[in-house]
């Protein structure tokens, strides 16, 4: 690993930490991407409750409630996509040339990440960055857990299976 | 205005993720692969992000209120329970299998890659299935 990689890594991490701090400072919210996405799904795709076998509930109450968090969540996600588009221009090496992940692996992994982050109420940004920055014991435990299990998973897949 | 701020934060966050290498599953797995050809670069990513956070968060939270909102909207749960640990473990498996966590996967949608779309769609289903505790 060379000095350029390390420089980009530190720069990237600094931007991530700065962005998260910015959201807290300006909007007073935690930049937990799994939570923001989950909220946006409830906001904008209420019918998706059907995966739980539920009819669309409380749609009217939700619509009448304060809509600023809804707009903020959507805006944040759109910002992620805009950033992605910008990256393709200014730093295309951010993305692999081709995604060799098998489709079934992507689906299974996606389900696990979705269920897992919902249960844990956070992911690498929510717990790993923001939670630790707040010195939250919950986040420290969560982060240590998903790091260790992630490492174990890679070990099993790469070296055993 | 809050939406504009949220958009800008998302944009900077995405660029950070891109520079950091987290949008490259091979790099992420290389970091998680302690026993193999270890790529420690992600340690610098998290290290830098957390250091910035540790310096900024306490100062920000000492303020009476955020710049554009009436109050801070912070997580309230404090317990460490099976839901937390079990959820984190499941997340870890998914992350180790694919090299993607939520943020990088969403950012990678712009590549139009089918596995990324499949991952994000499945993640959305998983999120709705397990429904996190709301935090509005």
Confirm if B91 and A120 have CB atoms less than 8 A apart.
yes
Q: Which chain A residues have a beta carbon less than 8 Å from that of B92?
A: 116, 145-150, 152-153
Tell me the whole-structure pTM to 2 decimals. 0.93
Closest of A124, A100, A96, A106 to residue A35, by C-alpha: A124
Residue range A69-115, pLDDT digits in tens: 899 999 999 999 999 999 999 999 999 988 889 999 999 999 999 99
The whole-angstrom distance between B4's CA and the closest CA on chain A is 7
CA-to-CA separations, A161 to A44, A67, A102, A116, B45, in angstroms, rounded: 41, 48, 16, 23, 29
Position A55 confidence tier, pLDDT thresholds 50, 70, 90: low
Report the complex ipTM: 0.95
- Determine the pLDDT at residue B37: 81
Average pLDDT over residues B36-63: 95
Residue range A15-36, pLDDT digits in tens: 999 999 999 999 999 999 999 9
Q: Which two tokens stand for residue A38?
A: 């989950």
Residue in B closest to A138 by C-alpha: B80
- Reply yes or no on whether the pLDDT at A11 is more than 80: yes
- Reply yes or no on whether the pLDDT at B122 is more than 70: yes
By the CB < 8 Å criterion, does A128 face chain B?
A: yes
């Amino acid at each position: 690993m060379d000095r350029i990689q390390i420089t980009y890594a530190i720069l990237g991490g600094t931007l991530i930490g700065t962005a998260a701090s910015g959201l807290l400072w300006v909007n007073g919210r935690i930049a937990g991407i799994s939570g923001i996405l989950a909220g946006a799904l409830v906001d904008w795709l209420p019918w998706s409750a059907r995966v739980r076998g539920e009819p669309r509930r409380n749609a009217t109450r939700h619509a009448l409630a304060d809509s600023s968090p809804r707009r903020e969540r959507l805006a944040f996600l759109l910002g992620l996509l805009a950033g992605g588009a910008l990256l393709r221009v200014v730093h295309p090496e951010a993305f692999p040339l081709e995604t060799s992940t098998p489709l079934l692996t992507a689906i299974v992994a996606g389900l696990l990440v979705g269920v897992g982050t919902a249960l844990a109420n956070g992911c690498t940004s929510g717990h790993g960055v923001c939670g630790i920055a707040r010195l939250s014991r919950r986040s420290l435990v969560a982060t240590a857990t998903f790091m260790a299990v992630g490492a174990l998973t890679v070990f099993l897949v790469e070296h055993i299976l | 205005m809050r939406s504009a701020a949220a958009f800008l934060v998302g944009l900077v966050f995405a660029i950070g993720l891109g520079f950091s290498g987290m949008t490259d599953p091979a790099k992420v797995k290389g970091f998680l692969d302690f026993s193999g050809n270890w790529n420690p670069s992600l340690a610098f990513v998290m290290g830098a992000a957390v250091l910035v956070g540790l310096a900024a968060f306490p100062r920000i939270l000492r303020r009476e209120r955020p710049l554009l909102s009436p109050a801070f909207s912070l997580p309230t749960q404090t317990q460490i329970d099976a839901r937390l640990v079990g959820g984190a473990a499941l997340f870890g498996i998914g992350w180790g299998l694919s090299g993607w966590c939520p943020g990088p996967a969403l950012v990678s949608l712009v590549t139009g890659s089918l596995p990324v779309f499949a991952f994000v769609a499945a993640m959305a289903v998983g999120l709705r299935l397990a429904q996190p505790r709301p935090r509005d």
